[in-house]
Structure 1
Amino acid sequence: NIPFTGSIHGGLQEGKSIILSGRVHPGIDRFHVNLQAGSMHGANIALHFNPRYDGHHYVVTNTFQCGSWGSEERKQTSPFPPGSNFTLQITVTRDFYQISVNGSHFMDYRHRIPFHSVDTIAVGGKVDISSISFSTPAGFPSFPAFPQPGFPPAMPVVPYKNFISGGLQPGRTITIQGMVQPNATRFHVNLQAGSMHGANIALHFNPRYDGHHYVVTNTFQCGSWGSEERNQDDLSVPRFFQLTIICENNAFRIVVNGMQVHTYNHRITPLQSINTLEIDGDVQLTSVMV
């Protein structure tokens, strides 16, 4: 529910990313995402990210500390048109927050408050948020955003299978973090309509490492595979990866480590019938956010 305030388990650290997926209301005037030190009214806000829609579309960023706002920074363009779905990723670097929207770099915001003090995320305004997840550097656990403190989830085990509550719909995002095993030959991520053997597979995402590195995507329905699509990018899925699959109206958009690598048009509908995530192969999982 919006407004939303949740704790950031483990706080912020260099290399950590926050990924929000959502939808802008058609009649929006503004919304905001705040990274702040504490959840109390008047808490210091390290990053205030604020798309606005008065006259034209632009984005304001600022910091609130010691009871007052600093000098705001403005981007006179905005990648958040009214009524659109989006994925916003904020990555912590040593000197600034690196902000990407829909897999493309949007802006950097230099730190004015030490990021180590940030432990809370808050979202408000005319926006729907379907998921908030955190990706941390290799060797650290990842957590979902909880309104109250909770225990971190156990490390997912391969082969992995999980039910997607309510099925897929535009704006829903699945985020997978893990490591490709040394001497790997291949692994796959399947989005399926059902969990039984032989179920239709709406998206088969299949990185392969035989000779050179490439990715195969395909669909399995009515007992047979369709025509496969291949991405010949040698760096499409590096050893340490965060894979984000964004369900849109007409396609799955696939983002790896913040960069869009592929768009795969839907071949199976209705989307709500796609209700199972399955992962297997030469991969070790750190976290899975469904």
Structure 2
Amino acid sequence: MLTQFAGNLSCTVEPGQIFVIGARPIDDAERIDINFLSGKSDEADNILHMSIRFLEDIIVRNTKLSNSWGPEERNDGLSELTAPNPVRAGELFKLYILVGDDKFHIAINGQSYCTYMFRAPLLEIRSITIFKDVQQIIQIDHRQIFPTPFPAIQLEESFNSFSNDVPKPFLPGHVIVITAIPFGNPRGGFIIRFTENGSKRQALHFNPRFDPHYIVVRNSHTDALEFRREEERTGGFPFVLDQQFKLAIAMTENEFKFAVNGSLFESYAYRSINQLDVLNGFKVQCSNGMQLEITNVDHMNMGVPDCEGFESYSHPEVEIF
């Protein structure tokens, strides 16, 4: 089964940040394109284009500005310790892109691959897209590693089905719109977790549980990393198996707000002081045979601390560019 991804970043790209992308090609993959764009429209500039071409056994790097492609980079600039294409069809790979002062430093599966000089200002990068022969996308992380790592702690959790870290704390008015399709075992569920500074402590545990419960549980951890007794379950169940949904999560000064497919759903009050200062993105975990295919994660700041009207971004017919 093919999938794809398109999403707007949470903040501007700066030196000292790193992107970590985890994906699996289909077994007979011919090509995967990974793009760092000025937007999601067809006319957007492509600041960094990486085209994994399995039949040619090469990864092509290039930039497109004002609808014109520059010179391709293929075998030039590769690390002497790497293959022209270390990605294998059907096998999960991890792509690391470190943003330097004047170039991208690119590694694959923990091994240095190449560098790529900037051909446009970093400030132009707003979106990431992944297309073509992709079976699974499990990680689109954007982190800061210099001068101060954020998140400060990184835990390798193999049970996560998706990860989306951000390099800076959220501000009131920030909205995340997740587009996804739940499929698999109808008696399963999924969990969207916002943890505090990369630790195990969950500031938000958002857990839709399908058949036979059909409830959405919201909870968080105490200081002892235990769930609170007063979990919240109100609001009904706006999710349908095998049907795409758009979930908007708004962050105000005092609470998370939720909207699904254009309608307000519920809210969950912060349980910690200065809660947004220690949040660094979200992770998804699936349970009991359910899977969640995430195709879009869009970040935006409305400039309005109470996020009034944010539910419109979750409407199925509203496109976020």
TM-score by length of 2: 0.47
What residue number does 2:201 align with? Answer: 160
What residue number does 1:32 align with? Answer: 33
Deviation at 1:116, TM superposition (A): 1.5
Task: Say whether residues 1:6 and 2:7 are aligned partners.
Answer: yes
CA contact 2:22–2:95 (8 Å) conserved in 1? yes
CA contact 2:165–2:282 (8 Å) conserved in 1? no
List runs of 5+ in structure 1 lacking aligned partners: 166-194, 197-284
Instruction: Write out per-residue CA displacement over residues 169-219 of structure 1, whole angstroms, 9 at most, x where no aligned residue.
Output: xxxxxxxxxxxxxxxxxxxxxxxxxx99xxxxxxxxxxxxxxxxxxxxxxx
What residue number does 1:97 align with? Answer: 104
Separation (CA, whole Å) in 1 of partners of 2:198 and 2:18: 23
CA contact 1:6–1:145 (8 Å) conserved in 2? no
Alignment of 1:79-118 (within 5 A): 79-118=86-125
List runs of 5+ in structure 2 lacking aligned partners: 76-82, 152-162, 167-173, 178-193, 208-225, 228-277, 284-321
What residue number does 1:150 align with? Answer: 175
**If each structure's strand is expressed as a fraction of its own residues, which one has the higher value?**
1
Deviation at 1:161, TM superposition (A): 5.9
Flag the 1:126–1:94 CA change in 2: closer, same or farther, 3 A: same
Flag the 1:287–1:82 CA change in 2: closer, same or farther, 3 A: same
Return the match for 1:133 from 136, 141, 147: 141
What residue number does 1:48 align with? Answer: 49
Q: Which SS does the other structure have where 1:106 is aligned?
A: strand
Instruction: Write out per-residue CA displacement over residues 25-59 of structure 1, whole angstroms, 9 at most, x where no aligned residue.
Output: 111110011001111112000000011022x4111
Q: Which SS does the other structure have where 1:4 is aligned?
A: strand
Q: Which SS does the other structure have where 2:16 is aligned?
A: coil
Separation (CA, whole Å) in 2 of partners of 1:103 and 1:164: 32
Name the amino acid aligned to 2:139: S
Large movers: runs of 4+ above 4 Å: 138-143, 151-154, 161-165
Q: Which SS does the other structure have where 1:116 is aligned?
A: helix
TM-score by length of 1: 0.51
Q: Which SS does the other structure have where 2:123 is aligned?
A: helix
CA contact 1:48–1:63 (8 Å) conserved in 2? yes
What residue number does 2:58 align with? Answer: 58
Q: Percent identity?
A: 22
How many residues align? The count is 172
What residue number does 2:127 align with? Answer: 120
CA contact 1:26–1:83 (8 Å) conserved in 2? yes
Flag the 1:22–1:164 CA change in 2: closer, same or farther, 3 A: farther
What residue number does 1:70 align with? Answer: 70
Separation (CA, whole Å) in 1 of partners of 2:206 and 2:36: 29
Q: Which SS does the other structure have where 2:164 is aligned?
A: coil
Name the amino acid aligned to 1:30: R
Name the amino acid aligned to 1:93: G
Flag the 1:81–1:116 CA change in 2: closer, same or farther, 3 A: same
CA contact 1:8–1:145 (8 Å) conserved in 2? no
RMSD: 3.5
Name the amino acid aligned to 1:50: S
Q: Which SS does the other structure have where 1:73 is aligned?
A: coil
Name the amino acid aligned to 1:134: H
CA contact 2:35–2:130 (8 Å) conserved in 1? yes
Deviation at 1:3, TM superposition (A): 2.6
Deviation at 1:68, TM superposition (A): 1.1
What residue number does 1:172 align with? Answer: none
Flag the 1:111–1:158 CA change in 2: closer, same or farther, 3 A: closer
Separation (CA, whole Å) in 2 of partners of 1:63 and 1:13: 18
CA contact 1:63–1:70 (8 Å) conserved in 2? yes
Name the amino acid aligned to 2:59: V
Q: Which SS does the other structure have where 1:3 is aligned?
A: strand
